[in-house]
Amino acid sequence: MKNKSGKRVCKNKKCQKVLPSSYKHRYCEACRNKHAYAIRNTLEGIGALAGIVLVTAIGREINSKK
Ligand SMILES: [Zn+2]
């Protein structure tokens, strides 16, 4: 969606910061940093959960062999 001035703004509706025309990204730097941080946290959360599941599965495997 383009506005009349042709200015691009940050896609974050709460931010709406005007982006330079040469700017490649849809989100401003601050929002991109926040977004990256959120993704990292999510991945770490998934990783931790996967680790717990794996450990539990291995534990079951070992116990079942005894
Ligand atoms: Zn922004």
Q: What is the pLDDT along the chain (66 residues), one digit of tens a residue?
A: 555 567 899 999 999 999 998 999 999 999 999 988 888 999 999 999 999 999 999 999 999 876
| Phi–psi pair at 18, nearest 5 degrees | -75, 130
CA 14 to centroid of ligand 1, rounded, Å:
8
Q: By C-alpha distance, which of 39, 19, 43, 41 is closest to 29?
A: 19
pLDDT computed for residue 65 by the predictor: 75
pLDDT computed for residue 39 by the predictor: 87
Residues at Cβ < 5 Å from ligand 1 ion: 10, 12, 15, 17, 28, 31
